[in-house]
Amino acid sequence: MTTWVRDFSDISTDISADMLADVGGKAANLGELTRAGLPVPPGFCVTTDAYREVAAAAGADGSHDAATTRALILGTAMPDAISEAITRAYAALGADVPVAVRSSATAEDLPFASFAGQQDTYLNVVGIGDVLDAVRRCWASLWTDRAFAYRATNGIDNRTVRLAVVVQRMVQSEVAGVMFTADPVTGRRHEYVLDASPGLGEAVVSGAVNPDHFVVRDGAIVERRLGDKRVVIRSLPGGGTERLERESGAADACVTDDQVIALAALGAEVERHYGAPQDTEWAIDAEGALWLTQSRPITTLYPLPDQSQEDTRVYFSITVAQGLYRPITPSGLATFRLLATSVAREILGLTVADPVAGPSAFAEIGGRGYIDVTAAVRSEVGRAIVPKVLGVMEARSGAALSSLFDDPRFALRPGSRRKAVLRLLRLAVRFRVPLRVLQAVISPRAAHRFVDSVGRDIRRRIALHPGATPVERLDHVEQVLLRHLFPVVPRVMPSAAAGFLLLGLAGKIVGRPGEVQAVLRGVPHNITTEMDLELWHLATRIRESDAVSQFREESPERLAERYLAGTLPDVGLAEFLEVWGDRAVAEIDVGMPRWSDDPTHILGVLANYLRLADQEAAPDVVFARGTAQARAAIDRLVAQAPRRKRILRFALNRARDLAGIREMPKYFLVIALGSVREHLKAIGAELAEAGRIARPDDVFFLDFKQIRSALGGTDQHERISGNREAYEQELRRRRIPRVMLSDGTDVEAISRPVAAADGSLPGTPASAGSITGTARVVLDPVGAHLEPGEILVAPSTDPGWTPLFLTAGGLVMEMGGANSHGAVVAREYGIPAVVGVADATHRITTGQTITVDGATGVVTPVPA
């Protein structure tokens, strides 16, 4: 028998998929809280079966647009059986009792998407006629434009959603508001954030009022900010509400301190019940009783790390520092764990109990890689080195870590200095760092020969005989990652460091460190620049070929399909991919397709290049001009120097000869990861053929232990489905903490600089010069359309992005420091660049005119 109505007390405390399908998220939560004995006003739920019955009669199957579907539902009469069930349930609440009528969609109040405010709410509804009308209008509000768009953003199929309706006795509140049981801005857990205002809570929920604001931590009010509370919404006798606006706001708090503490305690009880932070709505009636009118998960909080330590820990995201805001695939995270084990064992001399699981300092949080840097923050040497390194590589992370130095939870620990210095000295001796630096200063040619030999050694070690079994391939992958890959960094980086040390020396001689950056334009021996110029030369060959019209007229996706099918004219793309095919966007994740797997991005970049008509703006011309400008800058700086002219010229020339080596460790890593990916693809093909996974590329949604289990015969279909779902949910997350605490605090959120009064955005100077032009915000370079001369605004960049630099007029990045990858390449091309600009992709819009000043590190919007 179909159930049209359920009382809150009849809704199971087990919020299963079946229960959600029956009553929706809001009603399921209210039913659970009611049965748990929490102070919830009584009420009932009109089930999704009732909506389904009406929608079927109306022909509203989700195939129409929002407005049409809304009209169909409003124009359909409610069946008698449903209206009679609602009438009986309403009468059970009391004679003509005022109620609130709210939506409870199956895609609402969910752990990953709250849908707060997407459907309509009707307050102080009195009488069965008005209740039935409000229920019908609630059903129709499932198809408001805002709800329709929200579902599209969260990847929810309109044909699958249903709507239940909550009918709940009104609390005629003296004061009401909202409460978060974790700070929604900083992410800090067990910090209760309350907004309160007189009257009904709708004024606070809708944002119509400037409420009183309180923050409670450890049972005490730690922050208090009183609003003017000019707007009050109150119930009217006989039904409906009125909005009152007072000329002068209330100066006193609308709740007492005791009430604030009591509300926080209620919030803690709700959070304990659900085991997760909650976004609640509450009310206090005329008798002073506290009521909980709604509770839903806070869906925007970044996940917490799994940790065994009781003290607060500091985590730094190594994947965000590498320019990846997106989550890493399970196989990609597995490689990071092994690389972290390699660093711990081979570099730091630490013991790792389970090499495949990684050292205890490595943490997977939100599908991204983090490192516990608490010991470094509590160490004198760590405080001296880490912020300086990050200051030139990822300035915002460095500033966030430095902001913790005054926090008593991270006070310096005695004895840490000597231990850290000895460890650094051992590393320097083991990898012959002083010798490599001296060799590079004396003979850059010898340094380059040594780097080339490291590359040959890596290629030799990653090779494996072609007849290897899947188990042999997995064993080989683990050994390469554990033993041979990361030591490349301390072997190669000293040569690049020599160049930057000499550049620093030159800056001190000149007395103006910023000016010496000009000598790094058109730097030779930079593997990324060489790749970009090769791609430009390929575009030139295409421009001169008979196939140019195809490359201009067909989409990159279609061209990629033709290339992989072997039907695209031979213009040199295969030769380019033979050399550079291991590269990709987000290339440090082995789960991401390489250019050789999917050349869509490269073909899109080639299409951008073919639109470049100004030959003076051609990348090879710009690069040559940059080289000439750099040499002229050396002559000018030497001529202006009051002393040590010969040393200055030597230092500047050596810096140019050696700076390009900076890209080589990453390049060798990418080559090795490309080989790892090929081995995993071969394993995936075997597993798919055996039926243990659905298709070969599913292997990238397993970690190495799970792959080994699959090779042992375990079916992995269900695990892959769960891993993919978690990955795709994280793909939708936009704000990722670069430095976070174990209590959830996003450190930058409590110390982030704000835009100036004129709207200008501060960042880190990266490449000198100034340009005013049209901004193009690009979140994913694959398929990006960048007109020549536009200013590229991006969250971050890795070498997979740099082909876009060749025709960009300027660069603005949320990530990076003065010597980060994007900054280095921008300088080489002579593109004005500012990096480390917080929230640049949110604050700047495509088509907006902005000025990028790469010398001062400021981005300024230009008034229309």
Which residues does the annotation mark as catalytic? 821
Task: Tell me the CA distances in angstroms from 462 to 163, 347, 469, one per residue in order.
Answer: 56, 20, 16
Return d(Cα 755, Cα 346) in angstroms, integer.
Answer: 44
With DSSP H G I counted as helix, E B as strand and the rest as coil, what are the percentages for the chain, rounded to 5?
A: 50, 15, 35
Instruction: State which amino acid sits at residue 219.
Output: G
Burial letters for 97-136: b for 16+ Cβ neighbours within 10 Å, e otherwise? bbbbbbbbbbbbbbeebbbbebbbbbbbbbeeebbbebbb
85 Ramachandran zone, left/alpha/beta (phi>0; psi -120 to 50): alpha
The phi, psi pair for 370, rounded to 5°, reads: -130, 155
The helix (run of H) or strand (run of E) holding residue 833 is strand 833-835
Q: Which residues are within 8 A (CB) of 152 and not within 5 positions of it... i.e. 6 or more apart?
A: none
Q: Which residues are within 8 A (CB) of 361 and not within 5 positions of it... i.e. 6 or more apart?
A: 340, 344, 371, 372
Task: Tell me the CA distances in angstroms from 102 to 117, 121, 653, one per residue in order.
Answer: 10, 5, 71
The phi, psi pair for 456, rounded to 5°, reads: -65, -40
Return d(Cα 163, Cα 140) in angstroms, integer.
Answer: 9
Return d(Cα 805, Cα 825) in angstroms, integer.
Answer: 8
Distance of CA 459 to the CA centre of its chain: 33
Task: Tell me the CA distances in angstroms from 592 to 331, 686, 721, 852, one per residue in order.
Answer: 10, 20, 18, 32
Q: Which residues are within 8 A (CB) of 517 and not within 5 positions of it... i.e. 6 or more apart?
A: 503, 767, 768, 818, 827
Tokens 């290049």 -> residue:
609
Q: How many CB atoms lie within 10 A of CB 708?
A: 18
Return d(Cα 462, Cα 484) in angstroms, integer.
Answer: 9
The phi, psi pair for 196, rounded to 5°, reads: -140, 145
Angle 413-416-417 from CA coordinates, rounded to 5°: 125
Return d(Cα 806, Cα 788) in angstroms, integer.
Answer: 9
Kind of pairing, strands 212-217 and 220-225? Answer: antiparallel
Instruction: State which amino acid sits at residue 335.
Output: T
Q: How many CB atoms lie within 10 A of CB 369?
A: 30
Q: Which residues are within 8 A (CB) of 323 and not within 5 positions of it... i.e. 6 or more apart?
A: 796, 797, 798, 815, 816, 821, 822
DSSP string, 440-505: HHH-HHHHHHHHHHHHHHHHHHH---TT--HHHHHHHHHHIIIIISTTHHHHHHHHHHHHHHHHHH
Tell whether the torsion through CA atoms of 418, 419, 422 and 424 is positive or negative: negative
The helix (run of H) or strand (run of E) holding residue 638 is helix 619-640
Per DSSP, 52 falls in state: H
The helix (run of H) or strand (run of E) holding residue 371 is strand 368-372
Angle 305-408-384 from CA coordinates, rounded to 5°: 85
- What HEC string does 90-125 produce? HHHCCCCCCEEEEEEECCCCCCCCCCCCCCCEEEEE
**CB distance 214 to 196 below 8 Å:** yes
Strand partners, 45: 6, 166
